[in-house]
Amino acid sequence: MKTTVGSIFRAALLGCLMAAGVAQAQITDINSAINKAGRERMLSQRMAKAYFQLGLGVDTDRSKRVLDSSISLFDRQLVELKNFAPTPEIKDTYQKLEGAWIAYKDSLVGAPPNPEGGKKVLALSEQVLALAQQGTVQLEKHSGTTAGRLVNISGRQRMLSQRMAKFYQALAWGASDANSAAELEKARKDFAAAHQELSSAPSNTPQIKEALELVKQQWFFFENALNQKSTGDKKQLTGNVATTSERILEEMETVVGLYERLTTK
């Protein structure tokens, strides 16, 4: 069946992307660079989400795999992006990101997850995200193409999916800060607005339109999970967010890959 095959393909794709030790092709063009730069943004949020889920005891085996594979992938892509950097300004951004990443990684793996450590992880995830965002925007501007912009916007959707889950789990665990609830709501609005923008892009192919429709379906389930009342079973509520955030990420990886292959100027 079409849907089943597509789902298997997307799950396999995400598994390949996130599996530790899997060899990846080096960056060969600007769209590939924007995609990987944007994926670094997503990973900054996904790692914090996984850390909080381990603290909460949510699907611990999978959460540990998510954390470990995300750390490995972030490391590899950072090396690639530093090597590819087409301007001194972009190279400087990735050198700064490397410094922030060292501190963040140490907080993620230096001790078993605990609420106090979680507050530090939350703060450092924001610092790493800011630099990863800066590098992605710089690469998009260097590209100067519609395709580059679409890769950036769709890639940011991946990040927002993990950002929403990160703040939800931080709030559930008691590792949030004063801005967490507001940032969660902002990310929800940003995701919905960007999906509308992507859906109306003139350069969308039939395949991209179909993939965006699948994202819309997963967004329905993810948003329902985010809307769950906190008075319910915490393990079930946080587990639902963990699962649905991974599913929408799978769909968005497909969308970004399709935009990466566009040749629109």
Q: State the 10-residue block means of pLDDT for the chain, 265 residues long.
A: 48 50 69 97 98 97 97 98 97 98 97 94 98 98 95 98 98 96 98 98 97 97 89 87 97 97 72
**Cα(133)–Cα(129) distance, rounded to whole angstroms?**
6
pLDDT at 7: 52
Instruction: Give me the pLDDT at residue 26, please.
Output: 86
Task: Compute the chain's Rg from CA coordinates.
Answer: 17
Q: What pLDDT does 265 receive? A: 54
Domain annotation covers residue 197: yes
Q: Residue 20: its pLDDT value, please? A: 36
H or E element in which residue 7 lies: helix 2-18
Is there a domain that residue 83 lies in? yes
Q: How many other C-beta atoms can be found within 10 angstroms of the C-beta atom of residue 181?
A: 14
In a domain, 5, yes or no: no
- Structural domain includes residue 3: no
- For residue 189, the model assigns a pLDDT of 98
Residue 1 within any structural domain of the chain: no
Per-residue tokens: 67: 């954390």
Nearest to 48 by CA among 189, 172, 166, 225: 166
Give the pLDDT confidence score for residue 28 in this predicted structure: 87
Asked, for residue 166, whether it belongs to a domain, the answer is yes
Domain that holds residue 148: 26-260
Distance CA 125, CA 94 (A): 16
Q: How far is it, in rounded angstroms, from Cα 143 to Cα 116?
A: 41
- How many helices (H) and strands (E) the chain has is answered by 9, 0
Tally the domains of the chain. Answer: 1
- In-domain check, residue 66: yes
- With DSSP H G I counted as helix, E B as strand and the rest as coil, what are the percentages for the chain, rounded to 5? 80, 0, 20
User: What pLDDT sits at residue 264?
Assistant: 55
Q: In whole angstroms, give the CA distance from residue 98 to residue 8.
A: 34
Element (H, E) at 39: helix 30-56
Decide: pTM greater than 0.85.
Answer: yes
